[in-house]
Structure 1
Amino acid sequence: MALEQWKIKDMTFTWLNGGVTHMDGGAMFGVVPKVLWSRKYPVNEKNQIELRTDPILIQVDGKNLLVETGIGNEKFSEKQKRNFGITEEAQIEVNLKELGLTLKDIDHILMTHMHFDHACGLAKWEGDNLVPTFPNATIWVQETEWEELRHPNIRSRNTYFEDNWRPIANQVNTYKESVELVEGIKLVHTGGHSAGHSILIIERGEEKIVHMADLMPTHAHQNSLWVLAYDDFPMDSIRAKEKYLVPAIKEQAWFIFYHDYKYRVVKWDEDGKEVMESVIRKI
């Protein structure tokens, strides 16, 4: 299957296959009744919704930036695969080869947060050892997220894996409020989903592109009040969506997705009621 690409201004976005999970729909939509959310997002007989974990390669100014890293390969037991509904693992190395690139060609990795479904692709197995998947990349992680990743609590230890940070520790750079990696491309700390959660905001020329990460993991989470049961600080999630998502919709920004089963890119009308333009995943 051909890789999906979206070109805008001087940037090329390519979605790589980072694997597929299926998570409980109730957990993904929190207190929202199923009768409402199931109208907007398909659900299977196990009450699971499909959540892709497809890293976004951004090529700009001669740099290769990777947003998130997928679920990797050979990282889960059979029990975990059942629990997380994993039906496909990553093909990132193969995808990069299709683009004439290797794992060594990634310059920066932009991590919105370090939950397992975003971070398992950071390290890979070489024999019995875990080594960095992207050996030449600088990995950007918000400082609170980095601290909690290395010292998880009784709840977060189920998603912050030591295998996802120890092999790549010397590649990590942290930031507090925001960091601009390339002109107009920056990670911005929001909190909410986790204390150190960040979003990606791109403003080049007159175009604005936003990756809300797990504050809006799918297009069906556009409503500011539709937040995840997985969120550590749901009221912070709501405030962040009001601060960043709502104005961006009115500004006619583009939104890109990592998890959505259908959309890669969406632009809504100013009221957020209709999808005006989109890039749809090839199924």
Structure 2
Amino acid sequence: MEKLTVGDLTIWWLNGGVTYLDGGAMFGVVPKPLWSKKYPVNEMNQIELRTDPMFLQLNGKNILIETGIGNGKLTEKQKRNFGVAEESAIEKSLDELGLTAEDIDIICMTHLHFDHASGLTKWENDQLIPMFPNATIYTSQVEWNEMKNPNIRSKNTYWAENWEPIQHQVKTFEKLIVIEDSLKMIHTGGHSDGHSILQIESNGEKLIHMADLMPTHAHKNPLWVLAYDDYPMTSIFAKEKFISEAINENAWFIFYHDAFFRAIKWDKEGNIIEELKKK
């Protein structure tokens, strides 16, 4: 289990599962000869994408960022279509930290697509129940509204089984919310209308989780946006703003999907100056 210490806090990456998605979809209009130089692709034109939640503690609170693809939540057809090579083992990861799912106090959901939100619920005695029954779940109001009322496109990723059992735990925000004095969630839109990013500061050091605006290190170019993005120009504008600001502030970029890097620092010329690789 990889970990990164920044300031006075430590972030651990839990095992949330592995998917293999179409590389063309993940890089949109960028030609394959360009993106494939930066991120490996297999013979089926798929790229490996982790779905690994991040765990940290602030003010004695146990916090998760995202929740993985879940375990026992997908049909065989869904596993095949989404290239699922491994399902979540969140409880095992938490056990290694001396914790259980009941110990999680706060969950920050950048958005509620199935590959981020399926870990919010689990099957028990033929009934779906909350995976983290004692947690407050934060997401933007826009995202929560669309989760409950998906449109013809988004209904393929906003599933009732991922929100109905946990709706009493959800707390929404409009533009911005600060959690435990140092974790900031900012509504950006772009990937989804309700998509948010996270900024964390500890003892003068900073981290940023761009979520699916920059799912891997290979998506650093503001113009390299996903075909999955509902509002690609919004994604581009948000990337231009927040990536540049984070680099100027010497911040760590942390990743949920990247199969090779957990965290990276870039300099202003685009060179990697510090890194934490996945083992």
Fold shared by both chains (TM-score > 0.5): yes
1:62: how far off? 1.0
The number of residues matched between the two structures is 279
Contact 2:56–2:62 (Cα < 8 Å) also in 1? yes
Percent identity among equivalent residues? 63
1:67: how far off? 0.1
Question: For residue 143 of structure 1, what is the amino acid of its counterpart?
Answer: Q
2:175 matches 1:169: no
**Aligned position for 1:51:** 49
Question: For residue 198 of structure 2, what is the amino acid of its counterpart?
Answer: L
CA distance in 1, matches of 2:67, 2:9: 19
1:204: how far off? 2.4
Contact 1:68–1:111 (Cα < 8 Å) also in 2? yes
**Aligned position for 1:71:** 69
Which residue of the other structure, out of 4, 16, 21, is the alignment partner of 1:6?
4
Matches within 5 A, 1:79-90: 79-90=77-88
Residues 28-61 of structure 1: per-residue CA shift (max 9 Å, x gap): 0000000000000000111000000000001222
CA distance in 2, matches of 1:242, 1:205: 26
Question: For residue 277 of structure 2, what is the amino acid of its counterpart?
Answer: I
**Aligned position for 1:191:** 189
Structure 1 vs Structure 2 CA RMSD: 0.7
Runs (5+) with no aligned partner, structure 1: none
Which residue of the other structure, out of 244, 253, 256, is the alignment partner of 1:255?
253
Contact 1:249–1:271 (Cα < 8 Å) also in 2? no
CA distance in 1, matches of 2:31, 2:180: 41
Secondary structure at 2:34 match in 1: helix
Contact 1:29–1:37 (Cα < 8 Å) also in 2? yes
**Aligned position for 1:181:** 179
Question: For residue 138 of structure 2, what is the amino acid of its counterpart?
Answer: W
**Aligned position for 1:281:** 278
**Structure 1 length as normaliser, TM-score?**
0.97
1:78: how far off? 1.1
Residues 187-217 of structure 1: per-residue CA shift (max 9 Å, x gap): 1000000000000011223211000000000
Matches within 5 A, 1:17-32: 17-32=15-30
Contact 1:10–1:60 (Cα < 8 Å) also in 2? no
Secondary structure at 2:143 match in 1: helix
CA distance in 2, matches of 1:256, 1:202: 11
Secondary structure at 2:79 match in 1: helix
Moved over 3 A (4+): none
